[in-house]
Amino acid sequence: MRTELIVLIILFSIFLSIGCTNKNETDYVKIQNSQYYPDSITISSGDTVRWTNLDSTNHTVVGTDFSSGNITSQDSYDHTFTKEGTYSYHCSIEPSMKGVVIVK
């Protein structure tokens, strides 16, 4: 009876820890009218940001350690952030387009 309880507790702990490591999410940023929406997004470490270009022209997402290349119309670009910090980025085609990803 006691052994069963211990086994149950161990199984429950394993279940909980798996649940905690798999909670990574995808966060969405739209590119529309040559702007990022939202231009500032706060995410959790391990999350992926997906930028989707809703304009008819190409845009890019360029940060210090990530770069999308051309994102064509209706296409998207994903980047996963694994370290906490503030990541500024811009569009290399229109440098006035700016955004930031805050990873907590």
- Residues making contact with Cu ion (CB under 5 A): 59, 91, 93-94, 97
Query: Tokens in use for 61?
Result: 């997402």
The one-letter amino acid code at 29 reads V
Q: Please, what is the Cα angle at 51 between 46 and 57, to 5 degrees? A: 160
CB-nearer residue toward Cu ion: 27 or 94: 94
Say which amino acid occupies 51: W
* Shortest distance (Å) from residue 38 CB to Cu ion: 16
Choose between 25 and 39: whose C-beta lies nearer to Cu ion.
39
Residue of closest CB approach to Cu ion = 91
Print burial letters for 3-27: b (CB count within 10 Å at least 16), e (below 16).
Answer: eeeeeeeeeeeeeeeeeeeeeeeeb
Considering the complex, state which of residue 3 and residue 56 has its C-beta at the smaller distance from Cu ion.
56
Task: Quote the least distance from Cβ 33 to Cu ion, whole Å.
Answer: 10
CB of 55 to Cu ion, least distance (A): 8
CA–CA gap between residue 94 and residue 82 (Å, rounded): 27
Q: How far is the CB of 34 from Cu ion (least distance, A)?
A: 5
